[in-house]
């Protein structure tokens, strides 16, 4: 299913005005959309999300299980941010947090250390505020927000450990067979398989985020395609890990 994702994002992106060349500092140009809207933010996040999950699968195949987990945390963040803005688009109005998130997204990066030092320190929209939108969407769909909160909290904590280099994430790469760390790919077929299982789990978030994008834009054919794909994914039970070897 991962191979189908780019075409879905391309269709969503095709609804936007074409990117244009704008001057870059100190020379040359960069591509930018001529509008700065929630739709553009979502497409940008979707591009990174889909590219990220494809890369995570490659890392799992190569045995870079820990780095796969690190990248999946970013993929999950992008999916949450897409859902966060989808709520505002579906409701027809943005919360102050959603408005700030859009504004922050388009702020240009500093071009020098001096420029960075001259900027006032700003606080970005907190992850807890982003997750609140998912809770509100879940409540309207009749899903238990308490159960959602527990799952989100546990998964976030686990994937944060990869990003921040937690002790367990380093020891996951140790093997008693050689007494060394496996820094060029995990030897265990089970670990590689479980990394792929993690990718399958995050794929649910990715597909759900893209489905919300299609729904918020009233793209009925694309919504129906993604809806069918989501149900096929749920029926596949790929994230169970039942097929992974013991070692």
223 within a domain of the structure (yes/no)? yes
54 within a domain of the structure (yes/no)? yes
Give percent of the chain above pLDDT 90: 74
Distance, CA of 206 to CA of 166 (rounded, Å): 25
User: Which two tokens mark 83?
Assistant: 């859902």
- pLDDT, tens digit, 9 for 90 and up, residues 212-243: 999 999 999 999 999 999 999 888 877 777 78
205 within a domain of the structure (yes/no)? yes
Query: Which are the contacts of 122, defined by CB distance < 8 A and separation ≥ 6?
Result: 104
- pLDDT, tens digit, 9 for 90 and up, residues 80-137: 999 999 999 999 999 999 999 999 999 988 888 888 888 888 889 999 999 999 889 8
15 within a domain of the structure (yes/no)? no
Beta bridge partners of 180: 175
Q: Please say whether the beta carbons of 236 and 8 come within 8 A.
A: no
Measure the CA angle with vertex 219, ends 214 and 225; round to 5°: 70
Stated as kind and residue range, the H or E segment containing 30 is: strand 29-32
Nearest to 220 by CA among 2, 44, 11: 11
Nearest to 31 by CA among 51, 13, 50: 13
231 within a domain of the structure (yes/no)? yes
Distance, CA of 10 to CA of 219 (rounded, Å): 13
105 within a domain of the structure (yes/no)? yes
22 within a domain of the structure (yes/no)? no
Distance, CA of 218 to CA of 226 (rounded, Å): 13
Domain that holds residue 66: 2-10+33-110+123-240
Q: 51-57: long-range contacts (C-beta < 8 A, 24 or more apart)? A: 52/78, 53/2, 53/5, 53/199, 53/202, 53/203, 53/206, 54/2, 54/5, 56/198, 56/199, 56/202, 57/2, 57/196, 57/199
User: Which two tokens mark 223?
Assistant: 């919504």
Distance, CA of 23 to CA of 141 (rounded, Å): 45
If DSSP codes are grouped into helix, strand and coil, which group holds residue 32? strand
116 within a domain of the structure (yes/no)? no
pTM, whole model, 2 decimals? 0.92
For the chain, how many structural domains are there in total?
Answer: 1
| pLDDT for position 41 | 98
If DSSP codes are grouped into helix, strand and coil, which group holds residue 113? helix
**pLDDT interval class at 74 (50, 70, 90):** very high
Is residue 179 predicted with pLDDT exceeding 90?
yes
User: Which two tokens mark 138?
Assistant: 């879940």
Rg of the chain over all Cα atoms, to the nearest angstrom: 20
Looking up tokens 């591009």 gives 47
**pLDDT interval class at 155 (50, 70, 90):** confident
Distance, CA of 222 to CA of 129 (rounded, Å): 29
């Amino acid at each position: 299913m991962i191979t189908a994702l780019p075409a879905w994002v391309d269709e969503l992106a095709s609804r936007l005005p074409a990117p244009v060349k704008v001057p870059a500092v100190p020379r040359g140009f960069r591509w930018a959309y001529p509008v700065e809207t929630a739709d553009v933010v979502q497409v940008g996040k979707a591009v990174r999300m889909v590219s990220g999950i494809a890369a995570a699968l490659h890392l799992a195949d190569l045995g870079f299980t820990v780095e796969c987990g690190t990248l999946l945390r970013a993929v999950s963040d992008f999916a949450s941010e897409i859902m966060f803005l989808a709520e505002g688009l579906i409701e027809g109005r943005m919360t102050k947090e959603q408005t700030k998130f859009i504004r922050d997204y388009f702020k240009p990066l500093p071009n020098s250390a001096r420029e960075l030092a001259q900027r006032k320190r700003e606080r970005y929209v907190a992850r807890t505020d982003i997750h609140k939108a998912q809770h509100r969407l879940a409540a309207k769909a009749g899903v238990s927000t308490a159960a959602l909160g527990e799952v989100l909290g546990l998964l976030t904590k686990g994937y944060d450990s990869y990003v921040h280099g937690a002790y367990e994430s380093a020891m996951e790469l140790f093997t008693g067979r050689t007494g060394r760390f496996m820094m060029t790919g995990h030897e265990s077929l089970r670990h590689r398989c479980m990394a792929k299982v993690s990718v399958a789990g995050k794929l649910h978030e990715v597909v759900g985020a893209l489905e919300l994008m299609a729904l918020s834009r009233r793209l009925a054919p694309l919504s129906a395609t993604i809806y069918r794909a989501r149900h096929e994914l749920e029926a596949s039970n790929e994230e169970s890990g039942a097929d992974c070897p013991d070692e």
